[in-house]
Amino acid sequence: MRDDLPGMKKAFPILGVLTAILLSYALYESLVAAPTEQTMGDVQRIFYYHVPSAWTAFILFFVNFGASVFYLIKRNPAADIVALVSAEVGVVFCTVVLVTGPIWARPVWGIWWTWDMRLTSTLVLWLIYVSYLFLRRFSSSGQTPALAAALAVLGALCVPFVYFSIWFFRTQHPQPVMGGGGSIDPRMLHVLLINWLAFSCFAFLVCWSRYRLESLQREVDQAHALESLMDLRGGA
């Protein structure tokens, strides 16, 4: 289960350094280099954190769905760890989205929160994956993977229903940047994409180390279980 490939151990710090450089470059780009928005002013810059976090969270939830389906078919323990890790990191990024959104909305819309389509559906998505993490926490270890995978599939299937049901309310959120018909300064788009790249690298890095931690933890647990089994035999 553990990644003992010699290349992997070396790749980790390299990716770490690369992510650090990317993140600082992205920070400079979004706070200094990007042009100031005409009507909103500097508060618009939170957009460079808000949108990439949302994209990263959605990708991670998608990875969680894929890994869960794979686990249900193949019963592969590594797929289960990937599902767990992507849900955990996805919830963190989704929380960033839900926190940065109101900070931006207060000065621009004049309200912290509105029950608009995108806000509501992101909140429901967050609730679904938090309940997933609750299930993982509360179920006893041997049964967790299958139950969690089943819940992940149901949760992912719920997402289109959430969107359609909430779509019926009028939408207040700005149109999506890509494919929404809105126009964006190419300079801003460039900064946005840099940020997204940096955030994705960062998410991948965190997932990777969490994956290694989790597989080590499972090995330790297995060793403990085996040891107590041996003790029982020795005592009898």
Partner 1 sequence: MSAPTGITRVTLLKDLRLEWRSKDAVNSMLFFSLLVVVVFSFSFDPTAEESRQIAGGLIWVAFLFAAVVALNQTWAREIRNQVLDAYRVSPAPANSLFIAKAVGNFIFVSVLEALMTPLFIAFYRLRALGPVWQLLMVAVLGTWALVVNGTFFAAMSLRTRSREIMLPLLLFPISIPALLGMVQATTAILNGEGARFWLVLLATYDLVFTTVCLLLFETVLNAE
C-beta closer to partner 1: residue 30 or 121: 121
> To the nearest whole angstrom, how small is the minimum distance from the Cβ of residue 227 to partner 1?
22
> To the nearest whole angstrom, how small is the minimum distance from the Cβ of residue 235 to partner 1?
27
C-beta closer to partner 1: residue 26 or 128: 128
**196 vs 26: CA distance, rounded Å:** 9
C-beta closer to partner 1: residue 28 or 167: 167
C-beta closer to partner 1: residue 28 or 161: 161
**152 in Cβ contact with 64 (< 8 Å):** yes
Q: Pick from 18, 23, 72, 103: which binds partner 1 (CB under 8 A)? A: 72
Q: 41: which strand partners?
A: 37
**142 vs 226: CA distance, rounded Å:** 15
Could you give phi then psi for residue 41, rounded to 5 degrees?
80, -155
Q: CB neighbours of 135 closer than 8 A, spacing ≥ 6?
A: 144, 147, 148, 151
Q: Does 157 bind partner 1 (CB under 8 A)?
A: yes
Residues that contact partner 1, how many (by CB under 8 A): 29
C-beta closer to partner 1: residue 163 or 204: 163
Dihedral sign (CA 46, 52, 53, 58):
positive
Q: Pick from 26, 105, 166, 194: which binds partner 1 (CB under 8 A)? A: 166
**147 vs 115: CA distance, rounded Å:** 32
Q: Does 20 bind partner 1 (CB under 8 A)?
A: no
- Map residues 120-139 to x or -, x wherever contact with partner 1 holds by CB under 8 A: ----x--xx-xx--xx--xx
**83 vs 65: CA distance, rounded Å:** 7
**91 vs 135: CA distance, rounded Å:** 14
**162 in Cβ contact with 124 (< 8 Å):** yes
Q: Does 222 bind partner 1 (CB under 8 A)?
A: no
Per-residue burial over 12-28, b if 16 or more Cβ lie within 10 Å, else e, is: eeeeeeebeebbeebee
C-beta closer to partner 1: residue 60 or 162: 162
Q: Does 155 bind partner 1 (CB under 8 A)?
A: yes
- The one segment of 21-29, 37-45, 141-149, 187-195 that binds partner 1 by CB under 8 A: 141-149
Which residues make up the interface to partner 1 (CB under 8 A)?
A: 72, 124, 127-128, 130-131, 134-135, 138-140, 142-143, 146-147, 149-151, 153-155, 157-158, 161-162, 164-166, 168
